[in-house]
A and B are shown apart, each in its own frame.
Chain A
Amino acid sequence: MVYIIRLKNISKAYGGGKVRAVDNLNLTVPPGEIFGFLGPNGAGKTTTIKIMTGILSPDTGEVELCGVDLLKEPLRAKRKFGYVPDTSEIFPRLSGLEFLNFVADVYEVPAKLREERIRPLLKLFSLEGAINDRIGSYSHGMKQKLLVIASLVHDPDIWILDEPMTGLDPESSFNLKKLMQDYAARGKTVFFSTHILEVAEKLCTTLGIIKKGKLIFTGTMEDLKTQKQEDKSLEELFLELVRS
């Protein structure tokens, strides 16, 4: 089977090895999936995502994105994904457009193509009127939407989003979910972390649940119900899993 994301034996500890944020994590995601990464606060979701995006280096393990080893060929691997971080506090003194052009320059997206990709997204997220304003003057939701647009400027194969729904208004949240579905329908992969279990239940084709740095479940919603032999909501099953 072809995997677009492969994490092998990933471990990461903080505080001189005292706190194991990620503990021997193995994970594979095939193309065309919407993978929901769930877990309680401090479970290791963001650390895993930061390792996947080359922000943190793992203590042990391998990360492969679209068949490219992130640790050996970081620049090639980083071209394969677009990333929406969990914090939207970014470059407050740049205008929205300056930021988008900077990201597009980094990915070497030609002028025509960047315009074709950015304009419809600005319209979709109602950011056209504010795009020449400084990012520092944006609301949290506006910054979040800007980061979403920036992550798609090079049309990556993998779209990694860390808590993307935080701060979004209902319409933007709906648009983002639709965008994720359209993206996966094009055979691309969406990997996102969330605390909103209803979103994960309705949107994700595959779920991964992490607890204390260990992956305690991967599979579909149906797999989870079969495993637990109960016809409960994801919220109830999730709570049972993380409490056990």
Chain B
Amino acid sequence: MRKTLQLIKVLLAVRPFSYYRQNPKEFLKALGFIVLILFSLSGLFSMNVVFYKNLFQALKPVNLESTVLALGAVNTVLIILALGVIAILSGYYYDGAEYLLALPLKGRELLGAKILVNYFYHLPIAVLFFGIPAGVYGYFGGEGFLYWITAIFNLFLLPVLPLTLVFAFFVLIFRSFSFAGKKDFLMYLGGVIGLGAAVLIQKFSNTVQLAEKNPGVLVAKFSDPNLINLKLYKIYLPALLTVKSLTGEDVTIKAFSLGANIIFSLGLLALGLYTLGWAYEKSLKVGAEGGGGRRRVKGELTFTPKPVFISNLLREIRLMNREPVYFLNGPLVIIIIPFVFGISFYFQGIAGLSEIKKFLGNKALENYFLAGLLSLGVFLAAATNITSTAISREAKELYYLKSLPVSEKTWLLGKLAHGYVFGIIASFFAVAGAYFLGVSGFKAWFILPAVLLSALPVLAAGLLLDLKRPYLNWDHPQKAFKQNLNATVGIFLPFMQIGLYWLFLLKFKLSFWPCTVGFAGLSFLIGLGVLFYTLKDAQSSFLKLEV
């Protein structure tokens, strides 16, 4: 256990509080990161609160309010199962597994550390999906102190079993087959599953809307014993024990249920560690053997010269698109977001779409569609995070680039051009959206230059941000993106920009064309200013970059 905890400390990069006292900047960064995470989850948090409150109030008159807890427990387990699969697909193997395998560590210690690290990552999911329904039930049901203590115990217990099950499943597969040479495939698979999870959350969001509009439908839906979630609740013992420990007839049943839940969940975890530890160790050894063949890039031995700018742009695009973490979180976002919009329409049914189409003939509203598509285009162009992580992604390779006879301006303009390559794709999506909504000709194609001009300040500001404060000391490419504040700020910038545009359009009631042309023109000028400032300082900024 002691070795497992030491491993966890290394994996989570746990630092003592004294470190933050000595490095207040690091403390502020960590705090800012936590605030940003909380902010990004706040939408889901409030949506959950609204949904479970409505559900509780709708089901209480028919004495079915404990369904809130049952749903919360089952949904938590399902989401942790889905997200656990993604997490395991991208992080099953240890970085430096070969070194760890040479140390006197038992398989169960290695497996235990992996499961517990994942447990910490998934605990916020339990807070979001079980903590809220438990809170709603306790608050509106006027529950006492014991209820809240039991709820907290259950909240901590819920992620244990699904993560153990997911690991057990993958240990048995990976023990026999090496996926070490197919890490890219695993990442893409994880991405597809993540998209599936996004679709489920979208479906949930539509259910929330339904709940607000029609509580009667809610009662009918959630009192139906054939509802899949409620069927799962009856066969998944920990969920049943969770609800019994909170709503049981007397204290004895509650205490017994909680005790049984603790023994069952932790017992299965211990059983999993003791029976599968050796298999996990074997799977790491199978993984360390490598994937056999090498990834070959198609092509003959050709030596075709290209201009430096083009050659560098191709390098940028290849390095980003061939790294699954970057591709899934970057360029693919341009496709994913319109896809999620499509799914949203699908769940709202054709009715939702036809409601929009009703307005299509209305010339006054047509301009608002165009404004919306322009906003979407600008957001998509920035959402790839290409420029706001451009320097961080290079990391140690910057040393090599700095030794080459290429000006800093050329490097930076290459990165901006890379952002624009996908900005163009985003603008075409916006034009396609216009045609889909029945706007064609000049008005539809006007969006294309408008998006490209308006995207300059966000792309240039992202570049400036990452040049001045890059995240260079990472041990896994994922961190250049996921632990890089610039990526988050890079997505917030277009929100501010678009917000200002809509402020002028709606609040100050400016006419569409002068407002939009002015917005695009002014954005472009501001973008040029930011770019000029970035390039002016490029040489000294580059020299200051030290890994």
Contacts and interface: CB of A to CB of B under 8 A. Distances in A.
Interface of A: 50, 53-57, 74-76, 78-79, 83, 85, 87, 89-91, 93-95, 97-98, 101-111, 114-115, 118-119, 128, 130-134, 136-137
Given A78-B405, A102-B314, A137-B295, 6 more contacts: A54-B403, A90-B396, A90-B397, A94-B319, A132-B296, A132-B298
Interface in B74-99: none
Contacts of B539: 74
A134 B308 contact: no
26 contacts: A54-B402, A55-B402, A56-B543, A56-B546, A74-B405, A76-B405, A78-B405, A79-B405, A89-B397, A90-B396, A91-B315, A91-B397, A93-B322, A94-B315, A97-B299, A98-B297, A101-B304, A101-B305, A102-B312, A105-B307, A111-B303, A132-B298, A133-B294, A134-B295, A134-B297, A137-B295
A58 to B, nearest CB: 10
A5 B461 CA distance: 40
A105 B303 contact: no
B476 interface: no
Interface residues of B, number: 35
A57 B543 contact: yes
A74 B543 CA distance: 11
B294 A130 contact: yes
Given A93-B319, A102-B315, A111-B303, A55 B399 contact: yes
B310 to A, nearest CB: 8
Given A133-B294, A134-B297, A110 B305 contact: yes
B299, B322, B404 interface centre (most CB from chain A within 10 Å): B404
B467 to A, nearest CB: 16
A16 B407 CA distance: 27
Contacts of B298: 132
B311 interface: yes
B414 to A, nearest CB: 11
Interface string B518-547: 000000000000000000000100010010
Contacts of B406: 75, 106
Contacts of A106: 308, 311-312, 404-406
B308 A75 contact: no
Contacts of A130: 294
B301 interface: yes
Nearest to A89: B396
B143 interface: no
A105 B302 CA distance: 13
A108 B308 contact: yes
A115 B308 contact: no
A115 B303 contact: yes
A119 B302 CA distance: 11
B405 A104 contact: no
Interface of B: 294-299, 301-308, 311-312, 314-315, 318-319, 322-323, 396-397, 399-400, 402-407, 539, 543, 546
B450 to A, nearest CB: 34
Contacts of B308: 105-106, 108
Given A90-B400, A106-B308, A133 B296 contact: yes
Most chain A beta carbons < 10 A, residue from B295, B302, B312? B295
Majority secondary structure of chain B interface residues (helix, strand, loop or mixed): loop
List 6 A-B pairs, minimum CB-CB distance, nearest first: A105-B311, A78-B405, A95-B297, A137-B294, A93-B322, A133-B294
B299 A136 contact: no
B303 A87 contact: no
Contacts of B407: 75
A198 B418 CA distance: 48
A104 B303 contact: yes
Nearest to A78: B405
Given A85-B399, A93-B319, A75 B405 contact: yes
A98 B294 contact: no
A55 B397 CA distance: 11
A87 B294 contact: no
B403 A114 contact: no
A136 B295 contact: yes
Contact of A93 (B303, B305, B323, B400): B323
Contacts of B543: 56-57
A102 B311 contact: yes
A80 B400 CA distance: 15
A90 to B, nearest CB: 6
Contacts of A105: 305-308, 311-312
Contacts of B397: 89-91
A57 B408 CA distance: 14
B305 A108 contact: yes
B303 A103 contact: no
Contacts of B399: 50, 55, 85, 87
A136 B397 CA distance: 13
A114 B314 CA distance: 19
A102 B397 CA distance: 14
B402 A103 contact: no
A90 B308 CA distance: 19
B516 to A, nearest CB: 39
Nearest to B183: A136
A52 B304 CA distance: 31
A133 B290 CA distance: 15
Contacts of B307: 105
A224 B118 CA distance: 59
A105 B414 CA distance: 14
B75 to A, nearest CB: 38
A47 to B, nearest CB: 10
A124 B68 CA distance: 71
Contacts of A107: 405
A78 B400 CA distance: 12
Given A75-B407, A79-B405, A102-B312, A93 B294 contact: no
Nearest to B324: A93
Given A130-B294, A137-B294, A93 B318 contact: yes
Contacts of A98: 297, 315, 318
Contacts of B304: 101, 111
B412 to A, nearest CB: 15
A171 B474 CA distance: 34
Contacts of B311: 101-102, 105-106
A131 to B, nearest CB: 7
B303 A101 contact: yes
A55 B403 contact: yes
Contacts of A111: 303-305
B298 to A, nearest CB: 8
A97 B301 contact: yes
B98 to A, nearest CB: 13
A88 B307 CA distance: 26
A148 to B, nearest CB: 13
